[in-house]
């Protein structure tokens, strides 16, 4: 058992039934959470009514209903700040509203903390509903990945917000997720930022189920319908991340995207010109996209 305080940060938008299931798994954790903070991204279904109900039945649940949808990136940024108003928790546990942690998921994350110095974040083992690993949530292994393999821990350089436990020291030092990302890549950028300074690990014994509709990756080449326009954020945000690595990485990314445009052009893909237009827009915006990293007030970044 640990005496460390933990705040859950969850962002939700128009997925009431998934949210209900996720909250059931949160309430059933073997480790009681000190605070549960839910950011409602201006949902238009019955989410607000449900959240009002659980705040009345659970004293540790706190909800912020936003007047507009600020995306997952903005939601997690807002959620950490919201929780910090109540307490400077030892850990902040971030997850989406379709994440269902096993009852010992948090306990196993906290047990791993006992074996790590200078901890930045811990990432859970993300499985799909059939028990297979989720394609969308594969973390990036660090160069020094095997120093704690005997403890069931694998060193990471980045991971997703589908169950990420972040230390307050990392948040104080590295700041918050970049809200301007809106969607896509905010978790990779943030975890990369943390892992450059802190030790970060995948915890094999901490399991969560990601209730995605399908266990498949996202690729603009095969994307169809209204979701094509969302790839603007993916292109822009990844360009920003490449710029942080230097000129060589930036050039490599641009060439990669140009190559993808030609691949789309000569494929039998639907909405070819819309896809190419979205990518060009993303690259152009990415050239000038330089958001500031926001920090919690009254924390030491030195």
CB-based contacts of 121: which residues, under 8 Å, 6+ apart?
A: 156, 159, 164, 165, 166, 167, 170, 191, 194, 195, 198, 200
pLDDT in tens, 164-184: 999 999 999 999 999 999 999
Q: Is 133 contained in some domain?
A: yes
pLDDT in tens, 31-89: 999 999 999 999 999 999 999 999 999 999 999 999 999 999 999 999 999 999 999 99
Residue numbers of the domain that contains 278 = 225-288
pLDDT in tens, 209-241: 999 999 998 899 999 888 999 999 999 999 999
pLDDT of residue 299: 75
| Number of domains present in the structure of the chain | 2
182 and 150 in a single domain? The answer is yes
User: pLDDT tier at 302 (50, 70, 90 boundaries)?
Assistant: low
Q: What is the mean pLDDT of residues 274-279?
A: 98
133 and 255 in a single domain? The answer is no
pLDDT in tens, 122-147: 999 999 999 999 999 999 999 999 99
Domain boundary among 167, 183, 210: 210
Indicate the length of the chain as a whole number: 302
DSSP states along 258-278:
HHHHHHHHTS--SSHHHHHHH
180 and 245 in a single domain? The answer is no
Report the CATH number that the domain containing residue 79 is assigned in CATH. 3.90.550.60
Q: What angle do CA 83, 86, 91 make, to 5 degrees?
A: 50
């Amino acid at each position: 058992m640990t005496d460390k305080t933990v705040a859950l940060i969850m962002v939700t938008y128009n997925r009431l039934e998934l949210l209900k299931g996720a909250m059931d798994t949160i309430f059933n954790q073997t480790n009681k959470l000190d605070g549960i903070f839910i950011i409602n991204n201006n949902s238009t279904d019955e989410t607000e009514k449900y959240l009002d109900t659980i705040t009345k039945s659970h004293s540790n649940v706190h909800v912020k209903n936003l007047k507009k949808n600020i995306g997952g990136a903005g939601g997690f940024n807002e959620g950490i700040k919201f929780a910090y108003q109540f307490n400077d928790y030892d850990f902040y546990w971030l997850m989406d509203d379709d994440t269902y942690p096993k009852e010992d998921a948090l306990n196993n994350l906290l047990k791993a903390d006992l074996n790590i110095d200078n901890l930045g974040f811990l990432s859970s083992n993300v499985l799909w509903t059939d028990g297979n690993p989720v394609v969308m949530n594969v973390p990036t292994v660090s160069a020094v990945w095997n120093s704690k393999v005997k403890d069931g821990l694998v060193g990471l350089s980045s991971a997703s917000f589908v169950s990420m436990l972040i230390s307050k020291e990392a948040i104080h030092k590295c700041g918050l997720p970049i809200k301007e990302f809106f969607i896509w890549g905010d978790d990779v950028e943030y975890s990369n930022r943390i892992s450059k300074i802190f030790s970060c690990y995948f915890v094999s014994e901490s399991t969560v189920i990601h209730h995605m509709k399908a266990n498949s990756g996202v690729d603009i080449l095969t994307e169809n319908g209204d979701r094509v326009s969302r790839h603007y954020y993916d292109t822009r945000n990844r360009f920003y991340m490449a710029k942080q690595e230097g000129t060589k990485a930036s050039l490599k990314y641009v060439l990669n995207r140009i190559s993808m445009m030609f691949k789309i052009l000569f494929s039998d893909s639907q909405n070819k010109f819309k896809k190419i237009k979205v990518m060009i827009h993303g690259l152009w915006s990415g050239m000038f996209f330089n958001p500031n990293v926001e920090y919690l007030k009254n924390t030491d970044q030195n």
